Amino acid sequence: MCNDMTMKSLSAAELAQLIEELSTAYERLQGNNLKLDLTRGKPDAQQLALSDALDGVLAGDYMASDGTDVRNYGGLLGLPETRALGAELMDTPADAIIAGGNSSLQLMFITLELALHQGLGNLIPWAEAESPTILCPVPGYDRHFTVCEELGLAMRCVDMTETGPDMAQVARAVADPNVVGIWNVPKYSNPTGVTYSAETVEQMAQLPASAAADNFLVLWDNAYAVHDFAEPHDELASIHSAAAAAGTSDHIVQFASTSKITFAGAGVAFVASGEHGNAAIVKRLSTMTVGPDKVNQLRHARFLGGRLREHMAKHAELLAPKFACVEEKLSQELADLGIASWTKPNGGYFVSLDVMPGLARKIIAMAAGAGVTLTPAGATFPYGDDPRDRNIRIAPTYAPLADVATSLDILTLCVRLASARTLLEQMQ
């Protein structure tokens, strides 16, 4: 009906008719008792099975390349071969990387807690600021926001653009000495799928030098470093090299993990800062553990060593059809209507959908009413508060392809129905 015109150009009578048609379709769906879930940004069972050979890969050989018996305590920096794996992920030399336990999120928490109360390396503690504040590019990753909330760090939003955070906003914000850090997911960002441009990476590396706070940290969560599913894949410039050139290495903290490469929750996590930052993190880790799970580290190094790209290509084969399905459905049902826009990532785990302001919450509730659970509205913003109530995170990786298709049919129907109702109300 409105293929070649935006929904906003429809007359009241046309909108009313459209609403009637869509409402009938929606009510029919409600009778189907569906139970579909697009909330989970986690690998599906087939993806996990790609790494089943981890189990048994050691075949009784527990000696690492440096002679470490991985069954025993110790080795807080991690095994050489596992740090080499981290180097491949992070585009950073292995000797600048710490291979830790199973969760990069935990390493982020430890780093922020340290920066807040003790100061990271030779930097003064954030707690000395009146109101230490972290910049949060939005939409962003909810667990970053939770870490800040838990530690009592204030958050200030900056907009994401197609090349990374809006660096003009960032530059203005860091003139405030309370602003002590910025979160980043620089490749296939959660949830927009944006990869930072080389220029943005360069600007981020230089940011600590221009920030009013002397203890400013760039938090670089490269969770999706090798998670490409389309060619040509996005290239991310090395923040390590840029920071070395800018003299800001101790102000950059990189994180990564194999959570979405092998087993989510049973992988290996990495952290890398400058010399002083790393020393402080290792010292803190030493108070918490006698050493990481090096058996798992060795398994990962043996399993992935020399074949990381090949392994990720298998994930891509499984994921690409799901993301293609999301794109196809969104384009088919919503393109050119002027009521929604969305991202088309080349990798990662999410698609970010923006609907008309004020409708995200309503649409998510409508989808739930028809049996599709989506990430709660607001989750992609600090404090769960999307000020324009318009962002919806789509996580298609875990559900089977057929469920992704059905869920998107329902979601797009809800977007059209809610938008048509709102447009009609605005006319009255």
Q: Min. distance of Cβ 340 from ligand PLP in angstroms?
A: 23
Q: Min. distance of Cβ 218 from ligand PLP in angstroms?
A: 15
Closer residue to ligand PLP (CB): 164 or 177? 164
Q: How far apart are CA 393 and CA 197, in angstroms?
A: 23
Closer residue to ligand PLP (CB): 227 or 233? 227
> What is the helix (H) or strand (E) element at residue 212, kind and residue range?
none
Asked whether 100 and 285 are in contact (CB, 8 A), the reply is yes
Chain position whose Cβ is nearest to ligand PLP: 257
Nearest to 375 by CA among 163, 143, 147, 151: 143
Nearest to 408 by CA among 337, 332, 318, 338: 332
Closer residue to ligand PLP (CB): 141 or 229? 141
Q: Min. distance of Cβ 185 from ligand PLP in angstroms?
A: 4
Q: Min. distance of Cβ 259 from ligand PLP in angstroms?
A: 3
Closer residue to ligand PLP (CB): 151 or 365? 151
All residues at 6 or more sequence positions from 103 whose CB lies less than 8 Å from its CB, including other chains:
257, 259, 265, 269
Q: How far apart are CA 49 and CA 141, in angstroms?
A: 26
Asked whether 137 and 159 are in contact (CB, 8 A), the reply is yes
Neighbours of 12 (CB within 10 A): 11
All residues at 6 or more sequence positions from 303 whose CB lies less than 8 Å from its CB, including other chains:
51, 53, 54, 57, 262
Closer residue to ligand PLP (CB): 192 or 259? 259
Q: Min. distance of Cβ 404 from ligand PLP in angstroms?
A: 18
Closer residue to ligand PLP (CB): 144 or 329? 144
> 137: cis peptide before it, omega within 30°?
no
Q: How far apart are CA 355 and CA 413, in angstroms?
A: 12
- Cα-based angle 362, 154, 158 (whole degrees, multiple of 5): 60
Q: How far apart are CA 17 and CA 280, in angstroms?
A: 65
Q: Min. distance of Cβ 137 from ligand PLP in angstroms?
A: 11
Q: Min. distance of Cβ 296 from ligand PLP in angstroms?
A: 13
Q: Min. distance of Cβ 369 from ligand PLP in angstroms?
A: 27
Q: Min. distance of Cβ 105 from ligand PLP in angstroms?
A: 3
Neighbours of 252 (CB within 10 A): 26
All residues at 6 or more sequence positions from 231 whose CB lies less than 8 Å from its CB, including other chains:
none
> What is the helix (H) or strand (E) element at residue 216, kind and residue range?
none
Q: How far apart are CA 324 and CA 316, in angstroms?
A: 11
Q: Min. distance of Cβ 181 from ligand PLP in angstroms?
A: 16
Q: How far apart are CA 37 and CA 399, in angstroms?
A: 7
Binding site for ligand PLP (CB under 6 A): 41, 103-105, 141, 185, 190, 221, 223, 257, 259, 269
Closer residue to ligand PLP (CB): 104 or 391? 104
DSSP letters spanning 230-257: SSSPP----HHHHHHHHT-GGGEEEEEE
Polymer length in residues for the chain: 428
> 232: cis peptide before it, omega within 30°?
yes
Closer residue to ligand PLP (CB): 105 or 213? 105
Closer residue to ligand PLP (CB): 375 or 419? 375
Closer residue to ligand PLP (CB): 43 or 177? 43
Q: Min. distance of Cβ 220 from ligand PLP in angstroms?
A: 11
Closer residue to ligand PLP (CB): 190 or 249? 190
Asked whether 229 and 320 are in contact (CB, 8 A), the reply is yes
Nearest to 181 by CA among 146, 219, 154: 219
